[in-house]
Chains A and B, each alone.
Chain A
Amino acid sequence: MPGDVACRAEPMEHVPPVTFSRPPVVETVLGVQFLPLRRLTAPYAGLYWGEIRQDYPTQEVKSPLAPSVEAPSAPSETGIRFFAEPEVRCWFIDAEGAQLIQVQRDRFVRNWRKTGGAPEYPRYGWLRPAFQRDWERFLRFLEREDLGGPEVNQCEVTYINHIEQGAGWQSFGDLAKVLNLVARPESKESLPEPEMLVLNVRYGMPDDQGRLHVTAQPAIRRHDRKLVLQLTLMARGRPRSPAIGDIMAWFDLGHDWIVRGFVDVTTPRMHEIWGRR
């Protein structure tokens, strides 16, 4: 796979927190994966929607996500599960289309996405309690309907960023000005400018707590057809226990790795554009 690098890193404990006044983030994910709840069938997902419909009035049905586990020995193992009944993943979306809950038998995911009605990133300090509130409401539903308690085995925090062409870079040869992970060859005698760049780097968290995946790839943004560099940082790993406190603690760890990882992989020149504070 192009640009794929696996690294082991030291714990990132002593780097000061960083914020940006104009962060390029367009989507976030806080999610958990658990052992499949066999009785959580589509009709029960509908019942759950009834409970949250006031906050999430729209629904869509999607194909389910495959289970993924950050195993120490083999990164990002993706499995296959077979069920007698058809599997679905339900999206429950708020009125602005910006906040979204995804539920399937072995997943509970909460997304924020940038929309015309919600153009500002609401910050982790808002997203974290929003997840906790919705997750606890989901747990109460499962308990009341006697559907079983989720044995959480993976937590995930993902941030997707759009770095627009024209905002710090023009061609793929400029991407060394955006990403520290890309260096221009000292000698420009043999290679021309790259015509395409796809980067996939992963970092192991200490004590097998999980991994940070960093992906950079060009994309066309649908709503304005602009060419963007989609920079995705995904932290995933196993919490100490399925208890809510351990899940939230893992999210804090994952978010910390994403923030510090974002600062590390992007250049000071771009930090200035994004308003580093």
Chain B
Amino acid sequence: MIAAETSATLTGVPYATSPAPFIPYEGLSGDVILESTWAISPIRAVLELASLPENWDGYGSPSISVEVVNQAIRLVLDVARLGIDPLPEPFVGPTAGGGIILEWNLGKRELSLSVLPDGMVEHVKSDSGEPLEEGQATWALLRELVSWLVGPTDPRAA
């Protein structure tokens, strides 16, 4: 039995995944076990970034490490596990320095979750192009962030 690596510590901020269902064998191959079809495209997009070469942006950015790819996969699976519906698939892309960003644009609201090269996860919330909030993301905060993205517009903001 190969234990799932289910948690990571991000510069003192615990980012632990939610409890996984019973999986009798995790395997060595690194297969990404799916719990919903929603995660298929974002995970494929994350895995595709693993093959970016050094200097992929022409500005000297390094290739994306396995650790960053794994952290981004955990993040996608955690968002999927929230079961918040309807949630569109995020744009998945590389960031300068070897990170990965997941980005949603829903109406006037934008949410980005960035896995930084050191494994930290940061979030930025914007409304109508104006940044509202940014900082380190934790698993506890994830539901709040995604709920805000898909939630009703605050009438006071109108």
Contacts and interface: CB of A to CB of B under 8 A. Distances in A.
Nearest to A115: B29
B37 A195 contact: yes
A7 interface: no
Nearest to A230: B31
Interface in A149-199: 156, 158, 160, 162, 195-196, 198
A31 B32 CA distance: 23
Contacts of B118: none
A76 interface: yes
B1 interface: yes
Contacts of A222: 29-32, 47
B27 A220 contact: no
B32 A215 contact: no
B24 A230 contact: no
A227 B31 CA distance: 10
B31 A220 contact: yes
A19 interface: no
A234 interface: yes
A76 B23 CA distance: 11
A234 B3 contact: no
Interface residues of B, number: 25
Given A100-B28, A158-B25, A217 B34 contact: yes
Nearest to B6: A63
A140 interface: no
Given A65-B1, A232-B24, A234-B25, A217 B33 contact: yes
Contacts of A111: 28
A200 interface: yes
B21 A198 contact: yes
B47 A234 contact: no
Contact of B34 (A63, A113, A156, A220): A220
B115 interface: no
Interface string B119-158: 0000000000000000000000000000000000000000
A110 to B, nearest CB: 12
Contact of B31 (A66, A200, A215, A221): A221
A213 B24 contact: yes
B69 to A, nearest CB: 9
Contacts of A228: 31
B27 to A, nearest CB: 5
Given A1-B22, A64-B3, A68-B1, A196 B29 contact: no
A138 B158 CA distance: 71
Interface in A69-124: 76, 89, 100, 102, 111, 113-114
A219 B24 contact: no
Contact of B3 (A31, A65, A76): A65
A113 B31 CA distance: 12
Which of B28, B34, B44, B48 has the most A CB atoms < 10 Å from its CB? B28
Interface of B: 1-3, 5, 21-25, 27-37, 40, 43-44, 47-48
Given A111-B28, A219-B34, 12 more contacts: A65-B1, A113-B29, A160-B25, A195-B37, A196-B34, A215-B24, A217-B23, A219-B31, A220-B31, A220-B34, A220-B47, A222-B29
Interface of A: 1, 26-27, 29, 31, 62-66, 68, 76, 89, 100, 102, 111, 113-114, 156, 158, 160, 162, 195-196, 198, 200, 213, 215, 217-222, 225, 227-228, 230, 232, 234
Closest 3 CB pairs of A and B: A219-B31, A222-B30, A220-B32
24 contacts: A1-B22, A29-B25, A62-B3, A63-B3, A65-B1, A65-B2, A68-B1, A89-B3, A114-B29, A158-B1, A160-B27, A195-B37, A196-B34, A200-B22, A200-B24, A215-B24, A217-B33, A218-B34, A220-B34, A220-B44, A221-B31, A222-B29, A225-B44, A225-B47
